Amino acid sequence: MKQECPSVEEYYRSIESRIGYRFILGNARHCGLWKDGTLWPFPISTAQAAMREKLYARLRLSSGCRVLDAGAGSGRVAAFMAERGLHVQAIDIIPAHVEQAKKFVEARNVKDKVSVQVGDYHNLKGLESSSFDGIYTMETLVHADDPEKALREFRRLLRPNGVLVIHEADFHTDAVVLADIRRLAHCQRTPAEGGYETLLAEAGFHDVEVHDLTTMVLPLWRFFGILGAIPYAFMRLLGVQHHFVNTMAGVEAYRHWGNGRYVSIRAVKRA
């Protein structure tokens, strides 16, 4: 029987998600970045910091610039940007995430540079047009119900010559199991490979630069694939794998490695 598509909040609120993000990813809800050929993924936190550094470098913004963190999660990325001198408006659609982010930002002593609030990046009418130097998403645009609308909203909020950087995954396979995973993780509108570039152009962005980081995130997914293999086999035997989407995703993504990309995409709103 086909499982219903959960909301983003239901996905992140599940016990499996909370345990996995807390104890494996240190409550930082994004991949790490390793050197090509790395086998041993630990410490994962060091690689996650490298991914945040990659995102910051792609923005190419100077201290004092104002950025929007669209999907702030636990606030790790927002705090990182603030520590490098950026002023961050952080939003997340899930109230519990907003509270976590506020606490983390305060603990890192950057609350003077980070404002956190509940917000839906499809509709940010409360934010002034042309008021941000940069906008970024760290593995959050995949959850968009209408990515086209979200990108148009980002363009509205950017100043002339403002930059958008997205770190996301896309796929070039129609494998049923991966489609099930995207639906169960509320990522059903993830575009086909190359789709982000098309969507950005249609939204009016220019100077699109794509860095393919697929091989540099592999160590984490290899670890997930190995860690989850035996539990996943039992889940499938019992027919309950769809209730454990993160285990399912970890194993099947590794098994289908090469059927998708993890990319860092930079685009500009021209003057």
Q: What's the token pair of residue 224?
A: 């997930």
The letter for the amino acid at 122 is H
User: Confidence band (pLDDT; 50, 70, 90) for 1?
Assistant: very low
Q: What's the token pair of residue 137?
A: 């998403």
Phi, psi of 144 (to 5 degrees): -65, 135
Q: Residue 47's closest CA among 59, 58, 31?
A: 31
- Ranges 96-105, 169-178, 221-230, 257-266: which has the least confidence: 169-178
Average pLDDT over the chain reads: 96
Summarize pLDDT for 123-158 with one digit per residue, the tens. Answer: 999 999 999 999 999 999 999 999 999 999 999 999
Phi, psi of 12 (to 5 degrees): -75, -20
Q: Quick one: what percent of the chain has pLDDT higher than 90?
A: 95
Residue boundaries of the structural domains of the chain: 8-269
Do the beta carbons of residue 27 and residue 21 sit within 8 Å?
yes
Evaluated on CA atoms 164, 166, 172, 174, the torsion sign reads negative
To the question of domain 8-269 being in CATH 3.40.50.150, the answer is yes
Position 2 pLDDT exceeds 60: no
By the 10 Å C-beta count (0-12 exposed, 13-18 middle, 19+ buried), 242 is classed as: middle
